[in-house]
Copies of this chain bind each other. A is one copy, B any other.
Amino acid sequence: MYTFDELQLLINGEMARRMTRLASRKPAELYAPVNYTLEVGGKRLRPALLLMAYNLFSDDVEKALPAALAVEVFHNFTLLHDDIMDKAEVRRNMPAAHIKFSENNAILSGDAMAFISYQYLMECRSGNMPEMLSLFTETALEVCEGQQYDMDFENRSEVSENEYLKMIRLKTAVLLGCSLKAGALLAEISDETANQLYQFGMNLGMAFQLQDDWLDTFGNQKNFGKKIGGDILANKKTYLLVKALENATGDVKKRLVSWLHGTDFNADKKINAVTEIYQQLGIADLTEKKIEYFIRTAEKIFDSIPVNELRKEPLNLLTKKMLGRKK
């Protein structure tokens, strides 16, 4: 069995080989932003999850590598286009591709990445290929739906908890579910187990995104890797804000709304004030409970997957790592 570190090495090695090939394709202006985006990296969580799911049942993980890279290229395509739409100028401490190159480059190179992800996916020879492709395509469409909801929410004054949970399910969780299920499909195991892995990934994804929301306000910069309070400054409709708007009344609600509408403010003052309102409303606690709920559900599903415990160990450890960023 492979550990997360070993899989990261494998993924990055194969990614580097493919980036060399992409760099030789013409026109260079199309492929440079593709490589720039893939180079900036990230933790390669999704491809690692795919390989770990495959590795639950089969030892020859190299066979699943192209599909793992497909998922990573797809994920980076969504980041590339999201950054244009969100006018986000920085990604992983580097200029976003639409800043480094141009908006046109980022649109077109993003499109190319979507197609490259299909090329990689189709390299895997598996009897389950039609199912794999349907899963991948349906997931891709759901991720678009999630991004659309996310953008729509920014223009609305109130968003319900259920709407918010649906949005992060589409935008974030389905791709984790898809990665894990794709690994199972490639290993050609039963549909039932493949679907268990999908549900495990969905719940893991929900917990992961909610934890991200929590960390942005209550985390510390060292573990989070980003400046704390960014979501508050941007009035981002996170789980925290959604619950705060739902629970606040009277004077507290008035103060919260006035911070949301204010345009002329000191950044640290706003972060502190809104964080204090969250604390008054017990938002951290509420969010932690929700995270716990999804973690417990994920664990229950994971435990029921009919594979011996030893084989499950790497996936177990990665899950803990993904969900342990609060410590």
Interface residues of A (CB under 8 A from B): 25-27, 29-30, 81, 84-85, 104, 107-108, 110-112, 114-116, 118-119, 122, 129-130, 133-134, 137-138, 140-141, 144-145, 147-149, 151-152
CA distance A118 to B122 in the complex (A): 13
B114-A85 in contact (CB<8A)? no
A111-B81 in contact (CB<8A)? yes
CA distance A115 to B111 in the complex (A): 11
Are A30 and B145 CB-contacts (below 8 A) given A107-B81, A122-B134, A122-B137?
Answer: yes
Residues of B within 8 A of A145 (CB): 25-27, 30, 112
In the assembled complex, the CB of A85 is this many whole angstroms from the nearest CB of chain B, namely: 4
Residues of B within 8 A of A110 (CB): 111
Residues of B within 8 A of A152 (CB): 27, 29
A130-B122 in contact (CB<8A)? yes
8 Å CB contact of A111 from B27, B30, B114, B138:
B114
User: Which 8 A/B pairs are nearest by Cβ-Cβ distance?
Assistant: A30-B148, A85-B104, A112-B144, A115-B140, A118-B137, A115-B141, A27-B148, A115-B137
CA distance A249 to B144 in the complex (A): 52
Residues of B within 8 A of A27 (CB): 145, 148-149, 152
CA distance A29 to B144 in the complex (A): 11
Tell me the interface secondary structure of chain A in the complex. Answer: helix
Residues of B within 8 A of A25 (CB): 145
Residues of B within 8 A of A115 (CB): 114, 137, 140-141, 144
Are A84 and B111 CB-contacts (below 8 A) given A122-B133, A145-B26?
Answer: no
8 Å CB contact of A133 from B84, B85, B133, B138:
B133
Residues of B within 8 A of A140 (CB): 115
A141-B119 in contact (CB<8A)? yes
CA distance A152 to B141 in the complex (A): 30
Q: List 28 A-B contacts (CB under 8 A).
A: A25-B145, A27-B145, A27-B149, A29-B151, A29-B152, A30-B144, A30-B145, A81-B107, A81-B108, A84-B104, A84-B107, A85-B107, A85-B108, A107-B107, A108-B144, A108-B147, A108-B151, A110-B111, A112-B144, A114-B114, A115-B137, A115-B140, A115-B144, A116-B141, A118-B137, A119-B134, A119-B137, A119-B138
CA distance A27 to B155 in the complex (A): 14
In the assembled complex, the CB of A83 is this many whole angstroms from the nearest CB of chain B, namely: 11
In the assembled complex, the CB of A93 is this many whole angstroms from the nearest CB of chain B, namely: 24
CA distance A85 to B108 in the complex (A): 8
CA distance A19 to B122 in the complex (A): 28
